[in-house]
Amino acid sequence: MNNNQSSVTNFILLGFSLSQEIRLFLFIFFTVIYSLTISSNLLIITLVTTQRSLHKPMYFFIGNFSFLEIWYTSVTVPRMLNDLGTGNKTISPIGCISQFYFLFFLGATQHFLLTIMAYDRYLAICHPLHYTNIMSAPFCRKLASGSWLAGCLSISLPAVMMSKLVFCGPNTIDHFFCDFSPLLRLSCTDTWLNEIIFSVVAWIVILGCFFFTFLSYVAVVITILKIPSSLGRQKAFSTCVSHIAVVGIFFGTVIFMYIRPKAKNSSPVDKVVSVFYSVVVPLLNPMIYSLRNKEMKDALWSVLKKFRK
Ligand SMILES: *[C@@H]1O[C@H](CO)[C@@H](O)[C@H](O)[C@H]1NC(C)=O
Ligand SMILES: *[C@@H]1O[C@H](CO)[C@@H](O)[C@H](O)[C@H]1NC(C)=O
């Protein structure tokens, strides 16, 4: 490490260059979305942990996914609100690297959890006789903690390498959080090894998880289509449609962002897609799961009825 080189003491997160009025509007808009995200995900966690009817593997994973979404959206949104509200866009190098680390640690964990949720649906629908034997409570807990651990480990090498980079200016990051490419562009050390390792990890995690998730849902859909009664088919489909919707939105945006040739400069489209997956998707998920799911809605009604008494 050459610490002698003059290194920047702070980064500036450029975010969106916008007029005062639009900034105020975005501040209010993102505050509302963020509050809704936190409260709806907390509601799901509460329902899933307190309602006996939801003590099933699928809801355990949905609850854990909600728990993850709360952390995930909190890595970027409060910081962005601070920028929009105060206009102070400075972030320390340590702050920036930590944001990068947590963003991708939790992002990778999302992939692993979604894959496990797909595997859970696959077992439940394609192998219903063995399902309860395999998906025991301890095994579910192991799978959940396994995804958190794998998420944490998979990003540690790219993050350590990122922290070794020297930044000697300019120090403006053309983004609203410390994403990989915008940060890398500012380094004055050679970054090819960082790029290769990050790309390999991203490809393995994203495409590997996508592959297994895709296979599971293909098997699920084939099995459902073979169910003779149309009522049974409908019932099986309705639990899976929400999962497939979440998976589709999620992998669609992530593959767009991280699996494609690197552009030299970030485009405004990147920022909009980033807003989508860091701000909007964490709110969309609880909506999709809870609005489409009968058992979840029933559990919510029974809680509300208790409150009315
Ligand atoms: C902006 O925030 C940083 C800490 O995040 C602080 O050190 C700096 O003084 C602030 N700048 C202004 C102009 O308030
Ligand atoms: C989700 O799983 C992780 C790892 O096993 C655990 O630490 C966390 O408490 C779980 N959260 C919920 C709400 O189930």
How far is the C-alpha of 184 from the C-alpha of 173, rounded, in Å?
10
Domains of the chain: 3-308 (1.20.1070.10)
Look at 4 and 28; give whichever has higher pLDDT: 28
Cβ of 289 closer than 6 Å to ligand 2, yes or no, is no
User: Which token pair is 13?
Assistant: 């997160």
Q: What is the pLDDT of residue 272?
A: 83
User: Which token pair is 94?
Assistant: 């340590």
Distance 175 CA to ligand 2 centre (A): 31
Which atom of ligand 1 is nearest to 91's Cα?
5
Closest ligand to C-alpha of residue 148 is 2
The pLDDT tens digits of the residues spanning 138-190 come to 999 999 999 999 999 999 999 999 888 888 878 888 888 998 888 888 888 88
The pLDDT tens digits of the residues spanning 247-272 come to 888 888 888 877 776 655 667 777 88
Output the residue whose Cα is nearest ligand 2's atom 12.
64
How far is the C-alpha of 64 from the C-alpha of 67, rounded, in Å?
5
Output the residue whose Cα is nearest ligand 1's atom 1.
88
Cβ of 147 closer than 6 Å to ligand 2, yes or no, is no
pLDDT at 6 over 60: no
Classify 229 as helix, strand or coil.
coil
Cβ of 90 closer than 6 Å to ligand 1, yes or no, is yes
Closest ligand to C-alpha of residue 10 is 1
Distance 225 CA to ligand 2 centre (A): 34
Cβ of 148 closer than 6 Å to ligand 2, yes or no, is yes
| Contacts of 100 by beta carbon, 8 Å cutoff, 6+ apart | 159, 162, 178, 179, 180, 183
Q: What is the pLDDT of residue 251?
A: 87
Q: What is the pLDDT of residue 184?
A: 87
Which of 241, 296, 305, 278 is closest to 62 using CA atoms?
A: 296
Which of 184, 138, 192 is closest to 163 using CA atoms?
A: 184
Output the residue whose Cα is nearest ligand 2's atom 14.
64
Distance 138 CA to ligand 2 centre (A): 12
Contact present, 263 and 61 (Cβ < 8 Å): no
Which atom of ligand 1 is nearest to 88's Cα?
1
pLDDT band at 2 (very low <50, low <70, confident <90, very high): very low
Distance 70 CA to ligand 2 centre (A): 12
Virtual torsion, Cα 136, 142, 145, 147, nearest 10 deg: -90
Cβ of 10 closer than 6 Å to ligand 1, yes or no, is no
